[in-house]
Structure formats: C-alpha cells, structure tokens
Amino acid sequence: MSRTRPTVLAAAMVATLLSACGRDDAPPPTPPAEAARDTATPGTTMQASPQPATQPGGAPAPLLDLRDDTPPAPLDEARTAQLMEAAGRQGIRPDASVAGLVEGSFTATGRQQQAALLLPGSEGDAPAETPPTLAVFEGGSLVGQTQLAGGAYTGIAGSGDFDGDGIDELLLRTDGEHLGQSFVSVDHVSIADGNPRVLQRFEQARLDTCDGDGEEREVLATVLVHQDGRLAAQRFRAECGADGADAFAPIDDPDQGVLPPAAGQQT
C-alpha cells in the first residue's frame, strides 16, 4: 500500500461528549437505542437498525453499502478542537485527529458511551508508524483506550449490536491505494472485554482497478447485510466510470466474493 487517506467521520455526537465534559446542567445523553444509528451523520455510513431488517420482498436490508462510497463531509473544526482538548486532559495526545466518533454501549450492556478512532499526529516523539487509537468515553471521562496495532484503520464505517448480545460492535474501515488500485477493507470489531477483537474481516470490500496496470479494469463493491446473527457480504461489479449503486450488477461467481471472514483475531 503506497498511501492511505484518512476518512473523516461523524461529528454529530461530539456535542454529547462536550456537554458532559463542561456543563453541570447538561441534559442526560440520548439513550443508545435512540442515538445516531438511525440517521447517517457526516462522515459515517451507519445502519438503519442494529437488529435484523428486511427490504420489501424479505431480502435483508443493507447495513453498509460500498457501491456508492461518497466521501464524507468534514468535521466541524471548532468542535473537533474542543473534543481533543477534553481528551487531552485525560491522556490523549493533543496532536491526534478524530477519524470517527459513534455512540453506543461498547464495553457492557446499558452503557451510554462514545467510541472515537484517533489517528496519530506528527508532532513530538510519536513514531512514524504509530497505530491508531480507539478511545471510549462515558460521562465525559475517558474510560478506556487501546492502540489498534493489527490494522491501519482510517475510519469508522458504522456500529451496532450485530450479534444480539446487547453490546455494540464497530465496523472499522481501512482505505488505501497501491499501484493505481484503490481499496477499502472492513473489520467487524468487538471491544466488549476491553480488548479489540476482530469477529469478521472483509478484505477488499471495495476494489477499484480502473487506474491500475492490470488487464481487468472494473469496480468491485460489497454490501454488508445482517443475516443469521452475523454479517454477510453480497458482491457487485461495475464498469469503470459507472456512477451510483444502480450501475452495479450482482456477482454470482463465488470465486469473486470477498475472502472468508476471519474470527477471533486480536487487532
């Protein structure tokens, strides 16, 4: 991979964290079940519901659709600065950048937490290859943080209780390019026990070879759906220059699907 591009994600939940950090009269945070999972916020692709859903005709509803991978809207710089100031008082490096922020119950059931993906900055003594950090906040305080050494994650693609245990998981994405080919990979990650664990891995969930040197020039894209208590991948193909999800056709050949999902890996 020659370079990665950070995906800038959701600022809509920042206000909840900031209020909890700085105001005594702040209203209680929105319960997870009513939080931003129901509406996509700038910079994030989130499911309509963390529980199984269907479209007309009984087909599973998409949780993440990479056929139309529109770049996210930028975060509000003032809000981001306030968030990092609050996080810095609790041990987070001040030069880190927020690449994703979602709300839910990530470490135990019934919690009202925020999970933030923080990309390392370039100031001070931070090593050039420092992995991103996943930080969990609750009630305005940092309750956990861990470096994600197993992946060069660039953003949060979504969150939800996909396995039905009452604890939300994360969809962490990696964006990159290599030899003219761009790709997106997605990991289904749990932090229920305080240690990130990859439940499923979808390599090359989106692959664009249109600018590559190979003979095949096409765009392959994945739609993730919730099926039988886990995530399942549906694969689609489009010609170069195609625009929008309607330009993609389903792939029937199983050899063209994503690699088999991994289970139980530590990140």
Tokens read off for 144: 């956990």
Domain layout of the chain by residue ranges: 61-266
Using alpha carbons, select from 181, 177, 187, 196 the residue that is nearest to residue 135: 196
Q: Are 196 and 188 in contact (CB under 8 A)?
A: no
What percent of the chain stands above pLDDT 90?
33
What pLDDT was estimated at residue 171? 95
What pLDDT was estimated at residue 123? 53
What pLDDT was estimated at residue 70? 79
Adjacent-strand bridge partners of 266: 197
Least trusted range by pLDDT, from 171-180, 216-225, 257-266: 257-266
User: Is the pLDDT confidence value at 103 over 80?
Assistant: yes
Using CA atoms, how far apart are residues 242 and 34, in angstroms rounded to an integer?
36
Locus of tokens 């309750």? 143
Q: Are 32 and 112 in contact (CB under 8 A)?
A: yes
Tokens read off for 181: 């080919």
Using CA atoms, how far apart are residues 205 and 190, in angstroms rounded to an integer?
19
pLDDT 10s digits, 127-155: 557 789 998 888 877 888 888 887 789 99
State the Cα angle at 42 between 191 and 111, rounded to 5°.
30
Mean pLDDT of 73-78: 68
Using alpha carbons, select from 119, 106, 152, 88 the residue that is nearest to residue 13: 106
What percent of the chain stands above pLDDT 70?
65
